Every structure is written in C-alpha cells, then in structure tokens.
C-alpha cells in the first residue's frame, strides 16, 4: 500500500495541475476523506460558514460545469470538481449549534464558559452578522468610536464580514488540497468560472458565493505548466 506523504512533502510537491489522467482508477472516497479533514480547519468564530459541493465525473452536470469553468483543461479533464461555497446565510443556525454544544458540555448553570458563549454567540456574533439597511455603516461608526478609547476590531463592515467568510472557506480549501496531495492526488484551485451560470446550473442557494472550484484527479506530467516560481522569500517574510 502506498504511504501518504508527510506534511512538508505534501506542501512542496503540491502543484496546480491542469491536465488529469483519464485512465487512473480515481478513488472518490479519498475526496470525501480529505473534505472531512478540511472541515477540521480553523474558521472564524467556529461558525463553519462554508459548504463543499462535490461534482464527480459521472454526474450529468460535470461536463456543463467544466464548460462554465471557461472550458479550462483542469476542469474538462478533472475526475471530480469540488465547489467551495461560502454560506454566510447559515450564521444563525451555526451560532445556535455552537451555543447548544457549549451549553451541553458545561458543568453547571453558573458555568463561566456558558456565560461567555451566551455573550459571544448570543450577542457579539449577531451584532456582526445580522443584516439590515444602514447596519454596515453603523457597525463601522461604532468601531471607530469605541476604537478612540481602546483597541477595537475594525473589520466589521459587511464587506469585512464577507472577506472573513471567504478566509475560512479558503483555509478549508487549502487543507483539502494538501490532503489530496498527501494521499496521492492532484488539484487545481480555480476562480476562472462564470459564477452566475454555475449557481444556476447547480441550483446553489441564493445566499451562497463560490469561493473557488477545485479540480481533482491524478495529474499528468504535462499538466504542470512550468517550473515553480516564487518572488524572493525576503519579500514575503519580514520580521519586525
């Protein structure tokens, strides 16, 4: 049996691969396993506001979806496409799920953890995630005013919340792709797709956004388009 790669091997060997092997006996259970690992990724407030949608090659939607990925070879040759959706719309249900979990695991009525959870998931999270006209500007003003007296989180606008949700979805995506590499498969994350048409084709929830679509399969050597390039490390890692 083939040994999984260790973490640093998976990181260094992972490449975005644009042509996948059509003859390989692709094992979809590995995709499921890597998605389940991805769910363990850190995410903002543990709200888990994302969802993976699997479109295997046998799905009647796969070919049409690949065409909506601008016909990219990574998509047309993929053995499975995984959509990473943001689900900002699920905040209320997931805040409640967190709150209920913490309450159930608490030792007693006056447990400090429960009080904090109640405040966090019952007050702060709704403050940030609820939506009504003018609230985004109001939140920014509150942050600016409070920030005059003490350190304050400034990223509270509707745009900031949207970015935060995409951050968590992207972290989960990365865990998935590293898992796939460790297990012997390759991936290509894509943002080159027609989001409007994809949402319609797959009947995706109106409140969702597509963070990326990940092509999966066993990579062909010609699927790596060039030598790996990165700008100098000194530019990307600074110490203060």
Select from 94, 86, 93, 95 the least CA-distant residue to 206: 86
| Shortest Å distance, C-beta 11 to ligand FMN | 10
- Regarding 85 and contact with ligand FMN (CB under 6 A), the answer is no
Q: Tell me if 74 contacts ligand FMN by CB under 6 A.
A: yes
Compare residues 15 and 33 and give the one whose CB is closer to ligand FMN.
Answer: 15
User: HEC states along 57-78?
Assistant: CCCCCHHHHHHHCCCCHHHHCC
**Is residue 18 a contact residue for ligand FMN (CB under 6 A)?**
yes
Beta bridge partners of 16: 187
**Least distance in angstroms from the C-beta of 230 to ligand FMN:** 8
Smallest gap from residue 177 Cβ to ligand FMN (A): 9
Strands 186-190 and 80-86: what pairing?
unpaired
User: Residues 79, 220: contact at Cβ < 8 Å?
Assistant: no
**Binding piece for ligand FMN, criterion CB under 6 A, among 11-19, 26-34, 109-117, 135-143:** 11-19
Residue 228 engages ligand FMN in binding (rule: CB under 6 A): yes
- Piece of the chain touching ligand FMN by CB under 6 A; list 15-23, 30-38, 111-119, 133-141: 15-23
User: In this chain, which residue has its C-beta nearest to ligand FMN?
Assistant: 192
Task: Give 126 or 192: the residue with its C-beta nearer to ligand FMN.
Answer: 192
Question: For ligand FMN, which is the closer residue by CB, 180 or 188?
Answer: 188
Residue 156 CB, shortest distance to ligand FMN, in Å, is 25
Q: Is 75 in the site for ligand FMN (CB under 6 A)?
A: no
The counts of H helices and E strands in the chain are 11, 4
Site residues for ligand FMN, window 164-223 (CB under 6 A)?
Answer: 188-192, 212
Nearest CB to ligand FMN, comparing residues 149 and 228: 228
State the maximum Cα–Cα separation within the chain, in Å, rounded to a whole number. 64
- C-beta of 202 vs 210, nearer to ligand FMN: 210
Burial 202-237 (b: 16+ CB within 10 A, else e): bebeeebbbbbbbbbbbbbeebeeeeeeeeeeeeee
**What backbone phi and psi angles, to 5 degrees, belong to 224?**
-100, 115
* Pairing mode, strands 209-217 and 50-56: unpaired
Tell the smallest beta-carbon distance from residue 225 to ligand FMN (Å): 8
Cα–chain-centroid distance for residue 196? Answer: 19
Which SS3 state, helix, strand or coil, does residue 24 take?
coil
The radius of gyration of the chain from alpha carbons, rounded to an integer in Å, stands at: 21
Q: Which residues are at the interface with ligand FMN (CB under 6 A)?
A: 15-16, 18, 72, 74, 188-192, 212, 228
């Amino acid at each position: 049996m083939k040994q999984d790669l260790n973490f640093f091997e998976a990181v260094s060997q992972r490449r975005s691969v644009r042509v996948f092997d059509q003859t390989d006996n692709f094992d979809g259970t590995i995709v499921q396993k890597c998605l389940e690992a991805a769910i363990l990724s850190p995410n903002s407030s543990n709200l888990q506001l994302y969802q993976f949608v699997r479109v295997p090659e046998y799905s009647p939607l796969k070919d049409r979806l690949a065409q909506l990925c601008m016909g990219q070879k990574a998509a047309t040759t993929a053995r499975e496409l995984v959509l990473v959706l943001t689900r900002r719309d699920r905040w209320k249900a997931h805040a409640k799920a967190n709150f209920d979990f913490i309450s159930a695991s608490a030792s007693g009525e006056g447990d400090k953890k429960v009080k904090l959870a109640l405040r966090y998931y019952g007050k702060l999270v709704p403050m940030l995630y609820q939506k009504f006209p003018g609230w985004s500007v109001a939140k920014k003003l509150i942050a600016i005013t409070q920030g005059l007296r003490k350190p304050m989180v400034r990223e509270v606008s509707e745009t900031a919340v949207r970015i935060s949700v995409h951050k968590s979805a992207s972290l989960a995506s990365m865990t998935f792709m590293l898992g796939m590499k460790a297990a012997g498969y390759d991936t290509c994350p894509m943002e080159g797709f027609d989001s409007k048409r994809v949402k319609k084709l797959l009947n995706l929830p109106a409140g969702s956004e597509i963070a990326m679509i990940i092509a999966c399969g066993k990579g062909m050597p010609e699927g790596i388009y060039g030598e790996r390039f990165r700008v100098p490390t000194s530019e990307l890692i600074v110490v203060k």
